[in-house]
Structure 1
């Protein structure tokens, strides 16, 4: 078992920029593409994701330190540290159930495709770690591998159904046809975030407030373009972090770069994906009568939209403020402040890019996430101890906004808590 887990971790260590091209090549061959065309599709998608993750790194490497500088500047002290998604993923893959999740997840996905209970074919194997985390929470709670695997399957089924539900939004608003997003840290916030947007857009007065990149650009001309929005929001964030003038400008330039470059990287990815997506539809339609099959990819393909980045940058200081003022919250936002674009992607899509409505809905969602992460902190900490995770110095308890404050994971955890 130990060797299997180590082999799995080594495979996943190659990262999505290697795993996804291999998976796409094999899928292309399976669906009847010629080897050369399938290889080109896989290679193009790999290059696209390299570009996307380079831009994501640019975002994280600038947004994360600025957000943390803000926390330190205002002297916020809370007793649960947000270790972020990297810590949560590390803890997940150290769980005894980790070796079972990928083969089990693939089988479940195939069964659901054949039985037409999902239209999403998830090729983003890396993000199976979200399923693993859901199962690992229940394992830490119950000590039962069977219960843990059932929990992981429940989480996966819910996420795939949410991915199906939100796929039309990806095509209509994000211009990503044939794609769905079964990423746990994005899909899990849709069941509450999307209804919140609907409610906000019914409230007199508030429903008429509107700001999106298109209207901003019309009003301010060249200075309303996404690249300038990124610059201005980045400068504001750097100023709140207490940076000097030079570093403030660096953060502004980085955010402008993210706004400008991400859509271009997504176009490269789509160039490789569309032929495979079309081949998959034709194959599955002939074999199983299935239609409108979606290729399930990482949420990184959607977070580069200017409205998503703008909403996330505004929500960073709001999240820090919420952590201070919310009674009963013990989580100090830290590692997952740079993950906020993933959390709000579907909220922004539901709001059709209206930044004002997205920020209002995002504020409510993040407030709930802080409470859920606080409640899960004792179990999250025990999972870290069992995984021999290096706890941050001087820290007694940890959690994460990404998974500790993940709505679907929290509901599954509470369900199993009733029987343990």
Structure 2
């Protein structure tokens, strides 16, 4: 596979890198200081709106949309290196209106929503005026098997009535969030993969209650956050069902493929920055009479990290290329592979970087501890490693092979 990007993609890579160096990295500390000073931690720090305005003015906005006039018109392959560059910073993706869960939610509404849905929710999301949440995982069932999802939505005339509970609903606590895309069971008697639907539920609908925030290994990730949400006799118009009743799994597959690519490329960006931090630290720090960079064990950590990052990047770009050329369904094995490989790789690289930094690595000074916690959580997002490994194995076992390969 030859790595070659279009001129458009290469130009955007250069623009993004320059923007990150000039605006994002210098303001990471400002963002944290402002966030800590807010009266309500679920509000957005003012610097975020300032950075968004600059990014939009420079045309670095909604880059993730592949086929929309509102976006850059990039393929998954062309967008992948941009996602990596933005993912190097915890505040990067949002500045360019390219952060989860909004990216996936916008794509869902664009593909499967009505013109009214697009006007009400997609346009404000594309403009960065509001944020959204994705409500799928539930506390009372093993949601790694999505057919277990049990939040009930019953038809009552021209409305659906929702009852149940969700958790790990990303964006639920953000004061800018206005809409939830909610996976629910609409017909328990239908075939297994036709029982569920996705319904648009405005956050301010009576009966929607955000019960609490959920910390990721101690980190609350405000102002976006992850919430536990109760739906109690929540009434929404039947027209809020996306694509039609019983088509929730169809939508989920369309949403999660690109989302997994985005997660993986962001993780590669995080790992790349961790390796750079490891190298800088190793050059400067003296132990046992010589720099850490001259210690064999540290060199081994650097070399392993370089190999693993490049391997993960190549595999992810290969998956993105297949998604563009043969489609998400044909690329499902490669999508599953990258979802296993990239977050695990980032977790290992970050662990090595923390070790090289010593005590500094586990405090807030270098951002490694926060990134380490996030990388561990990503191994569960959009399905745990074990589910993806099972998918890969099943597809391998279906291959037609000679009865005597040797």
TM class by shorter chain equals under 0.3
Considering fraction of residues, name the structure with more helix. 1
TM-score by length of 2: 0.25
Higher relative contact order (CA 8 A, sep 6+): 1
Structure (1 or 2) with the larger CA radius of gyration? 2
TM-score by length of 1: 0.24
